[in-house]
Amino acid sequence: MNLDYLREKALQEWKEIEDPKIPIITVGSATCGRAAGALEVLSAIKTKLVENNIEARVFEVGCIGMCYGEVIVDVTLPSASSILYHEVNSDIAQKIVEEHISNNKILFNHALGTRSNLKYEGINPFSEHPFFKEQVRIALRNCGIIDPENINHYLANDGYKGLERTLSLKPPEVIEELKKSGLRGRGGGGFPTGMKWDFCYKSNGDKKYIVCNADEGDPGAFMDRSLLEGDPHSVLEGMLIGAYAIGATEGYIYVRAEYPLAIKRLMIAIKQMEAMGLLGSSILNSNFSFKIKIKEGAGAFVCGEETALIASIEGKRGMPRSRPPFPAQKGLWGKPTIINNVETFANVSAIMSKGADWYSSYGTENSKGTKTFALAGKVNHTGLIEVPMGITLNDIIFKVGGGIPNEKIFKAVQTGGPSGGCIPSTKLDLPVDYDSLASVGSIMGSGGMVVMDEETCMVDIARYFLDFTQKESCGKCVPCRLGTKQLLMLLEKITQGNSEIQDLTLLHNLAEKVKSGSLCGLGQTAPNPIITTLKYFKDEYIAHIQDKVCPAKVCKNLIYFKIDADKCKACTICLKACPVTAIKGAVKQVHVIEQDKCIKCGVCLEVCPPKFSAVIKLSGKEESKNE
């Protein structure tokens, strides 16, 4: 089968979208968009179009990354620049049809930018929007732009060019190209991808496997999901290239069962590939044959660890095993196996299409290319971003992220998911790359990035992450199963104000032991939140331990609520809202909180009208009893 012919057809189809004869409307309806109401928006648009008897093409696209601005709708009218709308709901959607599509009246209040690089009727190109300006989208190149369920869209956007080029090379040449690109594993470990492939290529085995790790387990991380939902072919193409390079004939995509849309789109993509001769035997008339199976994971965090993932595919309990032997020597069913992350594969297809030199022009000396992050927490622009390696934390948080909401002060940023480290404000100039992050005790991880402001208690944050890793430990090795339990118990003791200063030494020593003694990455990195917060925020620990105070006023045992008698207008709002009737008082009778009844839920503070601001939160433990 000839891909040139198919691509030509695809390009024609794409031209109808870029330069359409009828209006084109796309709705960002990945899982994140759907949660914000994308499907309602979609049906509102379709209904309105029918009502107004407008012929238009409407299709779903993946996520463009702007979580804070969902739902995103893009409208392209014939011979006009496309306009991107954000924060669209059903009402606005109807207006878009009635005003923009029917009468060519742009809704300026909701317009985010133009798709092209030109200003249009006073609207700036969205690439100049601060959220996008610093971004370089390689892995996410097609997300939010193409229809992920239409292989022609992918083909029209240089899709499978990387594969075509790969098949014209010998496997070692492909590996060499990967090595030259400087790509490192995007799943968290950061091991050079080309080297890993070379290792597997040189391993003897009658059969080899390639596995795509889509078991995205970090809470708040959704890079892989967005990629699979927005552009599955870029990942599948990467897998094919990898399979060819190492000599694998079978591939698995290990994806969380909690990602039904990603699974659905992967299955559609695989069917399309089979129909086009991109999967199966003699792919594109070469002697390369390959097939892909989807394995749904049950959602254990540890199954992201490659040996646990292999066990899980084999039908066993997801438990890591010691390496060596590495999976590249003895992996799935005992055969040489390469496991790469979703984002790694999406980069591979881009590298093989555009070349290693192009790719390595982005990034730093030892960390080439770009990295996607799920930007979350106390930051204005939450969302999925892709930035070149080497960009500073400051640029990510304050330029792309738009700074801290409500004029609060930045305190720390946590990278690398629950087992990453917390980086303080003094390190904001740190370039984001594998080695720099490691130098401050954190990790790149798969790309979680949680911003924290002054209202975040760092001890409580450490406790929160340990609670997660402790529960997600597979239970195999002693330091992880029991060490994280002890660490968590120590942190709970501190946040409850029940600890003594020598507990800090115990905490630190045990954290180091768990790090050095654990079997797999989960246990080896689980203490990172403790080690980094102890390093950068030790004063907060000491405040909890010695002064029995939570400076950020988070830890319940170390705070109390009080009603300022001078400010209370005895409106009874808080009195009625209190779930445990801890507030005494009546109309025209100043309210008082009974401290021994109070469960410190903070509802009174939330409901007290801002014009009164009578409820105050105070730190301390002992004073509360004296009230």
386 Ramachandran zone, left/alpha/beta (phi>0; psi -120 to 50): beta
Torsion over CA of 608, 609, 613 and 614, rounded to 10 degrees? -50
Q: Looking at 21-29, 89-97, 200-208, 477-485, which segment touches other proteins (CB under 8 A)?
A: 477-485
Phi, psi of 111 (to 5 degrees): -75, 135
Number of residues that bind other proteins (CB under 8 A): 33
Q: How far apart are CA 201 and CA 172, in angstroms?
A: 8
Quote the least distance from Cβ 545 to other proteins, whole Å: 16
Q: Looking at 49-57, 248-256, 482-490, 600-608, which segment touches other proteins (CB under 8 A)?
A: 482-490
**Closer of 108 and 333 to other proteins (Cβ):** 333
Q: Looking at 16-24, 182-190, 263-271, 314-322, which segment touches other proteins (CB under 8 A)?
A: 314-322
User: According to the binding rule CB under 8 A, does residue 319 interact with other proteins?
Assistant: yes
Q: Looking at 3-11, 86-94, 456-464, 468-476, which segment touches other proteins (CB under 8 A)?
A: 468-476
Q: Which positions from 72 through 111 interact with other proteins, judged by CB under 8 A?
A: none
Quote the least distance from Cβ 311 to other proteins, whole Å: 11
Quote the least distance from Cβ 469 to other proteins, whole Å: 8
Q: How far apart are CA 71 and CA 421, in angstroms?
A: 32
CB 103 within 8 A of CB 95: no
H helices, E strands: number in the chain: 28, 18
Quote the least distance from Cβ 248 to other proteins, whole Å: 24
Among 475, 539, 576, 618, binds other proteins (CB under 8 A): 475
Specify the DSSP class assigned to residue 613: -
> Minimal CA–CA distance to 175: which of 194, 190, 162?
194
User: Which two three-digit tokens encode residue 586?
Assistant: 């009546």
User: According to the binding rule CB under 8 A, does residue 598 interact with other proteins?
Assistant: no
User: Which two three-digit tokens encode residue 534?
Assistant: 């102890």
Please, which residues have CB within 8 angstroms of residue 367's CB and are 6 or more apart in sequence?
A: 182, 184, 190, 389, 390, 433, 434, 435
* DSSP E strands, 545-602: 559-563, 583-586, 589-593
User: According to the binding rule CB under 8 A, does residue 419 interact with other proteins?
Assistant: no
User: According to the binding rule CB under 8 A, does residue 508 interact with other proteins?
Assistant: no
User: According to the binding rule CB under 8 A, does residue 516 interact with other proteins?
Assistant: yes
User: According to the binding rule CB under 8 A, does residue 219 interact with other proteins?
Assistant: no
Please, which residues have CB within 8 angstroms of residue 586's CB and are 6 or more apart in sequence?
A: 570, 572, 575
Alpha helices in 129-205, H assignment, sequence order = 130-133, 151-156, 161-167, 171-181, 193-201
Q: Looking at 87-95, 185-193, 333-341, 466-474, which segment touches other proteins (CB under 8 A)?
A: 466-474
Residue 599 CB coordination number (10 Å)? 11
User: According to the binding rule CB under 8 A, does residue 563 interact with other proteins?
Assistant: no
Give the SS3 label for residue 367. coil
Give the SS3 label for residue 248. coil
Alpha helices in 314-373, H assignment, sequence order = 342-354, 356-360
Q: How far apart are CA 315 and CA 260, in angstroms?
A: 20
User: According to the binding rule CB under 8 A, does residue 511 interact with other proteins?
Assistant: no
Quote the least distance from Cβ 478 to other proteins, whole Å: 5
Label each residue of 371-410 as H, E or C: EEEEEEECCCCCEEEEEECCCEHHHHHHHHCCCCHHHCCE
User: According to the binding rule CB under 8 A, does residue 620 interact with other proteins?
Assistant: no
Q: Could you give the string, one character per residue 290-309, with x where binding to other proteins holds by CB under 8 A and - elsewhere?
A: ----------x-x-------
User: According to the binding rule CB under 8 A, does residue 485 interact with other proteins?
Assistant: yes
Among 353, 380, 486, 532, binds other proteins (CB under 8 A): 486
Q: Could you give the string, one character per residue 190-209, with x where binding to other proteins holds by CB under 8 A and - elsewhere?
A: --------------------
User: According to the binding rule CB under 8 A, does residue 479 interact with other proteins?
Assistant: yes
User: According to the binding rule CB under 8 A, does residue 510 interact with other proteins?
Assistant: yes
Q: Looking at 74-82, 104-112, 217-225, 470-478, which segment touches other proteins (CB under 8 A)?
A: 470-478
**Closer of 510 and 598 to other proteins (Cβ):** 510
User: According to the binding rule CB under 8 A, does residue 528 interact with other proteins?
Assistant: no
Sign of CA dihedral 45, 50, 54, 57: positive
Among 30, 477, 531, 559, binds other proteins (CB under 8 A): 477
Q: Looking at 86-94, 210-218, 357-365, 508-516, which segment touches other proteins (CB under 8 A)?
A: 508-516
Quote the least distance from Cβ 497 to other proteins, whole Å: 17
Q: How far apart are CA 121 and CA 170, in angstroms?
A: 51
**Closer of 370 and 470 to other proteins (Cβ):** 470
Q: Euclidean distance between the first and final Cα of the chain, in Å?
A: 82
Quote the least distance from Cβ 484 to other proteins, whole Å: 7
Among 261, 482, 590, 601, binds other proteins (CB under 8 A): 482
Among 317, 576, 597, 625, binds other proteins (CB under 8 A): 317
Among 53, 55, 103, 324, binds other proteins (CB under 8 A): 324
Q: Looking at 317-325, 356-364, 424-432, 435-443, which segment touches other proteins (CB under 8 A)?
A: 317-325
CB 193 within 8 A of CB 448: no
Sign of CA dihedral 344, 349, 350, 356: positive
**Closer of 93 and 444 to other proteins (Cβ):** 444
**Closer of 29 and 329 to other proteins (Cβ):** 329
> Minimal CA–CA distance to 237: which of 129, 76, 345?
345
Q: Could you give the string, one character per residue 325-354, with x where binding to other proteins holds by CB under 8 A and - elsewhere?
A: x-----------------------------
Phi, psi of 621 (to 5 degrees): -125, -55
Quote the least distance from Cβ 268 to other proteins, whole Å: 33
Q: How far apart are CA 44 and CA 37, in angstroms?
A: 11
Q: Which residues bind other proteins (CB under 8 A)?
A: 300, 302, 317, 319, 321-322, 324-325, 470-479, 481-486, 489, 506, 510, 513, 516-519, 524
